[in-house]
Amino acid sequence: MKIELGLRAGVAIPLLATLILGMSILVVFNYITQVNIIKEQESRSIEEAVRTTEVFLDTLTFYHKQISQQPSKTTTAQETATAKEKTSYIDNVDLSRGLETDLKQIQKAINANVGILLNKESLINKPEMKDIKYTFGEWVAPYFTGGDPKFFISEEVIKRASQSKERYYVDKKLQFGKEFFVIYSPLKDSLGKNIGYIYIVKERILNPMSVFTMLGINIFVYIVILVLIALLIGYGMHKYVIDPLVELTKSADEISMGKTGEKIDIKNARGEIAVLAKSIERMRITMKKLLE
Mean predicted lDDT score pLDDT of the chain: 78
Banded model confidence at residue 244, pLDDT cuts 50, 70, 90? confident
174 with 78, same domain: the answer is yes
275 within some domain: yes
Over residues 139-189, the pLDDT tens digits come to 888 889 988 899 999 999 999 998 888 889 999 988 888 889 999 999 887
268 within some domain: yes
Residue 255's pLDDT is 79
Residue 183's SS3 state is strand
- Domain harbouring 259, CATH code: 1.10.8.500
**CA-to-CA distance for 288 and 240, rounded, in angstroms?**
28
* CA angle centred on 236, ends 234 and 240, rounded to 5°: 125
113 with 255, same domain: the answer is no
Taking CB atoms within 8 Å and a gap of at least 24, the contacts of 42-46 are 42/181, 42/204, 42/205, 42/206, 45/202, 45/205, 46/168, 46/170, 46/181, 46/183, 46/202
Give the residue-averaged pLDDT of 259-282: 77
Residue 171's pLDDT is 93
Residue 120's pLDDT is 82
Residue 201's pLDDT is 94
Query: How many structural domains are present in the chain?
Result: 2
Q: Where among 143, 170, 205 does a domain terminate?
A: 205
* CA angle centred on 68, ends 64 and 73, rounded to 5°: 155
pLDDT for residue 266 is more than 70: yes
Residue 6's pLDDT is 56
Q: Where among 182, 205, 228 does a domain terminate?
A: 205
19 within some domain: no
pLDDT for residue 210 is more than 70: no
Q: What burial letters (b/e) apply to 258-271, b meaning 16+ CB within 10 Å?
A: eebeeebebeebee
185 with 260, same domain: the answer is no
